[in-house]
Amino acid sequence: MSRPTVAIINRQALRDNLALADSLAPASKSIPMVKANAYGHGALEVCKALQNAPAFGVACIEEAVALRSAGIEQPILLLEGTFSADEVAVAADHNFWLMVENEPQKQAILTSTAEKKVTVWLGIDTGMHRLGFQPEDIDQHYQQLRASDKVAETIVLASHFACADDLQSTATPEQIECFDRCVTTDDISADDNVQFSLANSAAILGWPESYRHWHRPGYMIYGNSPFSVAQNNADQLTPVMTFQSAIISLRQINTGESVGYTGNWTAQRSSTIATVTVGYGDGYPRQAPNGTPVLINGVRCPIVGRVSMDMITVDVSELSSVAIGDKAILWGTDLPVNEVADYCDTIGYELLTRMPSRVPRKYIN
């Protein structure tokens, strides 16, 4: 018998969420983002589950090499490009596609001694001001890369949205307009081998005017909405991860008694307290305040007392029946990770990606 804390990963939900992305833009190709261990879901298993995907996206070459060494054969896009010139040859040998967003990265490709050509994604800073060349300089960089015998035939021009999760924002249309101005110069528009990529999860779901050749779905394929409000397409997603544990102890406490470290919660009535074996050592947020919901026997029950390394305490006084061994859902289909994140003043992305290896992943379907 092992500790009951586990993350159950539903492969079919993963496939269904990617299928939704594809159905919204059937003329485009989707590159599932599997960086940060596939948002905590397990990069290798996610890639295996999405074996028909045309390519995958990671942050860096270490993530890509690990997947290639484990047998993943599709092209892998390095979203941050290279960090040193020697990575270009590795990328060329292993069919890693390189995002190129600054002069040193570009020069590393142009001066590479690699025997194989590398596929380039040319990054444009259309307004997020994080990565990418300036819009007015794109034509010059594009022509230099196009003229190089180190660069593969197809070049993808790409940018990233800063505010696509805000459906009322004017920033996204402005970024689209900026991108379109960049890619309609005579040299670029006359090239039959140029392709474009703009849409992340929020744009796929909510900004159809951003659809181009390639999409980069991340958070949405794991079944979670990037929006803070209901949205028709996002409401069709199915959470892939169910983070669950179990009750390991029950006790009755009297009015006026406190629970947990610092005694920051005091019972206002006679209460039944369940101890659940999960804590910040398992990636559950330590900042979860009193009242954060945990699903026990299908009922939302509030956390009381501070989250500790290995345990939380939950007020189950409202349950008609509760026992040691009963399942506790921390987040999943009936308790979205976004809801838990709201209580904790963070985002679901963080809760998923920081889940440690201590928590076993169990893959189903």
- Is the distance from CB of 42 to CB of 9 less than 8 angstroms? yes
Distance CA 276, CA 294 (A): 10
CB atoms within 10 A of CB 91: 27
DSSP 227: S
| Of 311, 334, 316, residue with least CA distance to 326 | 316
Distance CA 31, CA 33 (A): 6
- Strands 214-215 and 265-266 turn out to be unpaired
Q: Indicate the residue type of 104.
A: P
Pair of tokens at residue 312: 């939380």
- Is the distance from CB of 282 to CB of 321 less than 8 angstroms? no
Q: Which residues contact 39 (CB under 8 A, 6 or more apart)?
A: 33, 218, 219, 222, 349, 352, 353
Q: Indicate the residue type of 90.
A: V
Helix (H) or strand (E) run with residue 9 in it: strand 6-10
Active-site residue set: 35, 261
DSSP 289: P
Helix (H) or strand (E) run with residue 194 in it: strand 194-197
